[in-house]
Structure 1
């Protein structure tokens, strides 16, 4: 049988229509295989979707777009232009940081203005910004090839190129310790390390590698997709369907079907879907426990999963507000006066803080389409512990809501409660029950050194045959850019196993990035 005829017969089922599943669907369909995406919710996108009520629109989870290069290349592989499909606006300032210990920092991608902003807080730290920027540009350039390839064993770590990078990566240092080489003021260090919360981790324990997160913001931009991040996954679904992908909504997968240890499809309440391979885009821990019998998993058993460290969770408030906060930044972050204690409350003591750090998105100052005329859509996020017996959310939710609303005055947002016209709250318990996140951990397994690279569940899942993983639970990890990269890695491995040539590698002609993509 010819290779072209084989491609027509290959059938792939993808469990979950989140960003990783949709990216994999595009790449696999482009390569000629038949793809069906099965999603339990009523819309695509998973947590990268839109909550739309009474004329207000809110991003469910991610609220900004970082490092668009990967998704631009995936769209280019499908013959589409991401910037034409989803217009995006680069933000300047990127966000406003308010320090509970005093002072604030208006983060801008204009490097000269950023040095001046740092100098206003701590004059001696301004010079460290240029060194930080150049060192992390080098770090990202050298480490990027490793983020773009699978890690299957410790042998991948022992490669000569990886060993040569150890002085650059400094794996023995935490993020905060590494930043001390550039900045003496704790507030400045927090300004370049709070991004570890994108991984659900503390900068005092997060590996120093992740200094590249804040660097990416300044080098490549913080973007707002018009219509919110949910517009991105809707566009991905359109592109996938144009390539022939079928998407089933409101169809929870109950179990995977096996012939021995080989996956042969999935079963929902209403149908059985046969497949030559299964891609899991659902939360790894919950999906394995629910869909695969424990005895079939040699390494990632229920007991092994229970022994792992999971990230923090988030307390979410989506508020439709009467009136417009014109003087409130698109992104505002408040960092608790005693930030270390706040993180200890979340990660070690698993209790609710009296002075919680929080984040507010006031996207209507950039994108008025997100609320009715004369109104605002406020998105408020407070990092909290994942599910724990120490916190009874039905009992404590109302009091914590009051605490978070009171905190808003610390960033200059007054009179919110009397202006609320719509309100939705999501707690860690909701993340677990409604969104299927193990322990309600919104960033999956923690990204410590014992749970990174080959120590995360592999893209080609090591316990089962013809089962593949995409998303934050596998390599490279959490965050939209690396989730898209996981889709590329996984798709290449899957096609290799099916003896199908990827079609995107030679056909993706990347459109030049807009001029605003270049660093100032």
Structure 2
């Protein structure tokens, strides 16, 4: 058993990060991935002969990613071509104009002032200050630390003398209510409330604590040449260089235990691999639902349907465009935000939805068809509801109507592929298509996420559905935390021979964002 590798189930961002960091320290690692390529939710699909990003598109928290590459003995710039975006996102409500937010804070203040008046600009300054304060309080103890409980363990990490800090993060107040304190203009309430969808949640049900996400994005958004898929490929390359073995098309049927701890995994092929450590880079609900065998069902809890995060209708399209000057990230808001989330809460796709559009070819010549990813929030009911052709057509029509209302014209009929909650449910079992794990609804939600360690010794979790939360940067941080848990649990029983690597994860980074 001494020479068996740590087995990582799933080559999503969390699993890839865990593999790169463990193998950098001389530990043998094997990654088993049921799909043919790395990335998990970070993937590309073919549309009319062209690969189109079908997963996360917003790349933030670059310092965290840089620190992970450094700890794995690599340099980000050697593997990725990154460009910092001047414009964070473009926002539109109708045909009368749009509002851009910028990497330069003062430009955003000026833009908001011109859009909604001097009171709105002042409100934005106050909002930004409060969001930064919340982020600074929770950065080290919550976002980058292991799972913690409320309130005393968190208070211990923050510092027992900082009693006021617990009040300052406003866990018992609604985000929507607090946005009303900063912004009288309902359009700005919509804009800054939308950040909660980055973790798959409704701004009407999340605590005001989550205004920190706006601060995180304000610290920088980067474009990756080749899309987010390039990040997954880069992490795989680094992990391979450190000695990780990857096996694709290798589905794990069962995680085995003996005397209460992990002893191995059984593949769909019948092959058995012995190990004392398994990192599950899947939604923890898959463990609790018995999808990795009865022996590990007790390892994690199943997220109840009413507690699931949002799913999505995702269009991957190629089209010529006219009528609206697109940026890379664009949001086309509905005129009734509350009605959108009311519809989702009762299990329906909104008929008048807000649509996010990523112009994947932004900056390239615009004389031909361009690639787009378009997202509309939807309920995570894919395990109970199969979307019919008629429903898909109606959702497409509703989405295009929203774009048209803001002045954007795409080709009709639109050449596209549509991914629904039903499709996501098949890809990510036991989720119903929820893309972010558990929704961040209520003050306790952030403390109920699965941590790195499970109830079964030797079985660990990583990924966007685990602590510290959803999105590419947070999934990477979960992988870091999982690697630290594995190392910590092995350090007293076996000697490893760390490789000579540069840097480490102990240096504080100038943190940035939340979600992708």
- Aligned counterparts of 2:293 and 2:369: Cα–Cα separation in 1: 50
1:475 aligns with 2:467: yes
Matched-pair contact (CA < 8 Å) for 1:431–1:437 = no
- Aligned counterparts of 1:514 and 1:51: Cα–Cα separation in 2: 34
Could you tell me which of 122, 127, 131 is aligned with 1:132?
127
**Matches of residues 71-470 of structure 1 in structure 2 within 5 Å?**
71-99=65-93, 104-123=98-117, 124-146=119-141, 147-154=143-150, 155-159=152-156, 161=159, 163-219=163-219, 221-270=220-269, 271-294=271-294, 296-298=296-298, 300=300, 305-306=303-304, 309-322=307-320, 327-346=325-344, 348-366=345-363, 374-387=368-381, 392-394=386-388, 395-418=390-413, 420=415, 423-436=416-429, 438-449=431-442, 452-461=445-454, 463-470=455-462
Which consecutive segments of 4 or more residues in structure 1 shift more than 6 A?
323-326, 512-515
Matched-pair contact (CA < 8 Å) for 2:322–2:408 = no
> Structure 1 residue 444: deviation in Å?
1.3
With over 3 angstroms needed to count, the CA separation of the structure-2 counterparts of 1:234 and 1:324, relative to structure 1, is farther
- Aligned counterparts of 2:323 and 2:115: Cα–Cα separation in 1: 26
Unpaired runs of 5+ in structure 2? Answer: none
**Larger deviation: 314-323 or 334-343?**
314-323
Matched-pair contact (CA < 8 Å) for 2:283–2:466 = no
- Aligned counterparts of 2:323 and 2:229: Cα–Cα separation in 1: 23
- Aligned counterparts of 1:144 and 1:328: Cα–Cα separation in 2: 33
- Aligned counterparts of 1:279 and 1:135: Cα–Cα separation in 2: 37
1:36 aligns with 2:30: yes
> Structure 1 residue 225: deviation in Å?
0.6
> Structure 1 residue 132: deviation in Å?
2.4
Matched-pair contact (CA < 8 Å) for 1:495–1:502 = no
Give the 3-state SS of the residue equivalent to 1:468 in structure 2.
Answer: strand
- Aligned counterparts of 2:359 and 2:115: Cα–Cα separation in 1: 25
Counterpart position of 1:3: none
**Larger deviation: 16-25 or 291-300?**
291-300
- Alpha-carbon deviations, 1:321-365, whole Å to 9, x = none? 25788832211111210101111111x221122211111111212
Give the 3-state SS of the residue equivalent to 1:206 in structure 2.
Answer: coil
- Alpha-carbon deviations, 1:432-459, whole Å to 9, x = none? 1134361111111112346544422221
With over 3 angstroms needed to count, the CA separation of the structure-2 counterparts of 1:151 and 1:412, relative to structure 1, is same
More helix by share: 1
With over 3 angstroms needed to count, the CA separation of the structure-2 counterparts of 1:488 and 1:502, relative to structure 1, is farther
Q: TM-score, normalised by structure 2?
A: 0.89
Could you tell me which of 495, 500, 508 is aligned with 2:503?
508
- Aligned counterparts of 1:251 and 1:92: Cα–Cα separation in 2: 42
- Aligned counterparts of 2:442 and 2:348: Cα–Cα separation in 1: 25
Give the 3-state SS of the residue equivalent to 2:436 in structure 1.
Answer: coil
- Aligned counterparts of 2:298 and 2:149: Cα–Cα separation in 1: 16
Counterpart position of 2:8: 14
**Larger deviation: 166-175 or 288-297?**
288-297
- Aligned counterparts of 1:145 and 1:396: Cα–Cα separation in 2: 45
> Structure 1 residue 415: deviation in Å?
3.9
Give the 3-state SS of the residue equivalent to 1:366 in structure 2.
Answer: coil
**Larger deviation: 265-274 or 488-497?**
265-274
Q: How large is the Cα RMSD of the aligned pairs?
A: 3.1
> Structure 1 residue 101: deviation in Å?
11
Give the 3-state SS of the residue equivalent to 1:408 in structure 2.
Answer: helix
- Alpha-carbon deviations, 1:138-193, whole Å to 9, x = none? 32222111221112545523526274421220111122222233222221122222
- In the comparison of the two structures, how many residue pairs are matched? 500
- Aligned counterparts of 1:325 and 1:48: Cα–Cα separation in 2: 30
Unpaired runs of 5+ in structure 1? Answer: 1-5
- Aligned counterparts of 1:186 and 1:38: Cα–Cα separation in 2: 48
Give the 3-state SS of the residue equivalent to 1:94 in structure 2.
Answer: strand
Give the 3-state SS of the residue equivalent to 1:106 in structure 2.
Answer: strand
Q: TM-score, normalised by structure 1?
A: 0.88
- Aligned counterparts of 1:180 and 1:306: Cα–Cα separation in 2: 31
Give the 3-state SS of the residue equivalent to 1:180 in structure 2.
Answer: helix
